[in-house]
Amino acid sequence: MPIRAALALLKPLLEDRSVLKIGADVKHHYVVMNRHGAELCPYDDVTLISYVLNGGTAGGHDLASLADAWLGHKVRDLKELTGSGKSAVAFADVDPANAAAWAAEAADVALRLWQVLKPRLAMDGIVSVYERLERPLVPVLARMEQRGISVDRQILSRLSGELAQGAARLEHEIYELAGERFTIGSPKQLGDILFGRMGLPGGSKTRTGQWATTAQVLEELAAEGHELPRKIVDWRQMTKLKSTYTDALPGYVNPQTGRVHTSYALAATTTGRLSSSEPNLQNIPVRTTEGRKIRGAFIAGKGNKLVSADYSQIELRVLAHVADIHQLRQAFAAGADIHAATASEMFGVPVEGMPGEIRRRAKAINFGIIYGISAFGLAGQLSIPREEAADYIKRYFERFPGIRDYIETTKDFARRHGYVETIFGRRIHYPDIRASNVHLRSFSERASTNARLQGTAADIIRRAMVRMDDALARERLSARMLLQVHDELIFEVAEDEVEATIPVVQRVMENAAMPAVSLSVPLQVDARAADNWDEAH
DNA sequence: AGTCTCACG
DNA sequence: ACGTACGTGAGACTC
């Protein structure tokens, strides 16, 4: 069927404000229709309804999982029609009778799921999470995906060459030191050589009883003066950057747009964060000099700049608010260095002239608190004995008893209800919170205390994103939101609008909790513009 | 498909 | 005595 003919039939219906369109993973359909100039509105999405109702419980929220769980219906897999792998055909090339039957089944199942799930949403009183944080994000993310971002393929190709050279050189040196050739990328072979044949002191074992060869293990051996582990770590970094980024990213450049278009999942994480795939643009390197060169390959289009705006310490600010910790609130209000302030409070050391090591330890504790701290984890992070880590934690809770109370209150709430809530009412379920298995239960306790913080931060940036396009339009600004990386938004902005855009972006992000929640701690957003993502970050 | 490792917040 | 820091996605190797 010609697209024009299909659109003539569909567009009026899709855009009819009096007709509710119901589907699963509506963003996907929104992008497809939008590509042909049709706007899908209004709509309900059973995937998002399920995510809001049952986030954290086992099982996905895609159409097939929901149909199985709620209707006892096994939907036919699209692969039965298109085939899979190399011989797969496009949906457009499937026999129309088969395609129609498959599509009709999906439509029918989506409607029946909506009839079951939508009323439960109202009963559970979390309708505002769906209506304000989930549903309105669909067109926002669809537009971000469609815009894509420019990458400089020359830079990536040059980096690939440099990494190939560096890895090849290391490969020879590794074989020389090992006394034989082997597959460096095989953890099994590497473990056998390091800890078997060469007799280096092995650390921990993996779940399957193999020697662990993680970067941390190899770094410790390197610190003891062993040459080989250091070279393995360097080789791994180079091959990682090459295979995952410099080699793979050019393959994602769309020939029509010349840009890279990621796909965001709205209903993939337990905490309310987004995820990004094909390619994942939420894990572009930044921590090493070599890695940052890859980030530098993400560039603004001609006549534009990239603007990066990120929340400063948003999860610690959320913690200061929800746990109501006066020292933390004061430190944030004063614009202090929060890790130094924590160290000062814990160890009685003035911030002026504080040794770096002291601050580093307080920083690790702050992260630990967010993750659901344990003496074991902190000890591993800081490479100190567990007794010493336990002592730090004890000292921390003596100074910040409100945080110990917060953690206990959260665990207790989770035990009683089976879920925890963000400050905007998002529920995250922990079915194992009352398990008799200590391991399962402890994991749920750490995860649930973390989820309130990570989830609230995720809700805040969602609110900013939902409002951003309107705010920019009201100021007659043409800035386009391109990417989201959990606490950061990246925009493409016409050069002559950069100065006017930055304060608008900051204002929307910093006020994103309002008016639903008035935070007792200010949110701070740092923003800057540059020709590429590395320099803007 | 499972495991291991490592890139990000 | 045990086994643990929270949340992701992707690539390489192995079976």
Q: Calculate mean pLDDT across residues A138-153.
A: 96
Which DSSP state fits A69?
I
**Which CATH superfamily, name and number, covers A3-124?**
Ribonuclease H-like superfamily/Ribonuclease H (3.30.420.10)
DSSP string, A446-505: HHHHHHHHHHHHHHHHHHHHHHHHHHHHHTT---EEEEE-SSEEEEEEEGGGHHHHHHHH
Distance CA A235, CA A175 (A): 12
Q: Tabulate helix, strand, coil % of chain A (nearest 5).
A: 60, 10, 30
- CATH value of A153-252 in 1.20.1060.10, 1.10.260.40, 3.40.50.1000, 3.40.50.150: 1.20.1060.10
Residue A79 is predicted with a pLDDT of 81
The answer to whether residues A459 and A493 touch, using CB atoms and an 8 Å cutoff, is no
Helix (H) or strand (E) holding A151: strand A150-151
Tokens of A354: 């504080």
Nearest to A267 by CA among A39, A484, A54, A43: A54
For CATH 1.20.1060.10, list the domain ranges present in chain A. 153-252
Q: Which residue's CA shows the smallest distance to C1' of C2?
A: A439
**Which CATH superfamily, name and number, covers A316-456?**
5' to 3' exonuclease, C-terminal subdomain (1.10.150.20)
CA–C1' A334–B1 (A): 53
A450 CA: nearest nucleotide by C1': C6
User: For the segment A476-498, what is each residue's pLDDT rounded down to a tens digit?
Assistant: 999 999 999 999 999 999 999 99
Residue A360 is predicted with a pLDDT of 94
Q: Calculate mean pLDDT across residues A21-30.
A: 96
Within A400-437, residue ranges assigned H as helices are: 401-417
User: For the segment A324-340, what is each residue's pLDDT rounded down to a tens digit?
Assistant: 999 999 999 999 999 99
Tokens of A461: 């940036």
Is-above-0.75 flag for pTM?
yes
Is A365 within 7 A of strand C by CB distance? yes
For CATH 1.10.150.20, list the domain ranges present in chain A. 316-456
Distance CA A415, CA A537 (A): 40
User: For the segment A197-237, what is each residue's pLDDT rounded down to a tens digit?
Assistant: 898 988 788 878 888 899 988 988 998 999 999 999 999 99
Q: Which residue's CA shows the smallest distance to C1' of C11?
A: A244
For CATH 3.30.420.10, list the domain ranges present in chain A. 3-124
Is A276 within 7 A of strand C by CB distance? yes
**What SS3 state is found at A15?**
coil
CA–C1' A233–C10 (A): 19
- Mean pLDDT rounded to a whole number for chain A: 94
> Nucleotides on strand C with an atom closer than 7 A to protein CB?
1-15
Q: Calculate mean pLDDT across residues A255-271.
A: 95
CA–C1' A485–B9 (A): 7
Helices A26-35 and A137-147, axial angle in degrees (round to 10) = 50
CA–C1' A54–C14 (A): 36
Q: Report whether pLDDT(A85) > 70.
A: no
Residue A398 is predicted with a pLDDT of 96
> Nucleotides on strand B with an atom closer than 7 A to protein CB?
3-9
Q: Calculate mean pLDDT across residues A25-52.
A: 96
Residue A83 is predicted with a pLDDT of 78
Is A254 within 7 A of strand C by CB distance? no
CATH 3.30.70.370 fits A296-315+459-536, yes or no: yes
User: For the segment A280-295, what is each residue's pLDDT rounded down to a tens digit?
Assistant: 999 999 999 999 999 9
Q: Report whether pLDDT(A86) > 80.
A: no
The answer to whether residues A190 and A213 touch, using CB atoms and an 8 Å cutoff, is yes
User: For the segment A171-206, what is each residue's pLDDT rounded down to a tens digit?
Assistant: 999 999 999 999 999 988 999 899 988 989 887 888
For CATH 3.30.70.370, list the domain ranges present in chain A. 296-315+459-536
Neighbours of A396 (CB within 10 A): 22
Q: What is the percentage of chain A residues whose pLDDT exceeds 70? A: 99
Give the CA radius of gyration of chain A: 26
Q: Which of residues 468-507 of A touch strand C (CB under 7 A)?
A: 486
CA–C1' A474–B8 (A): 33
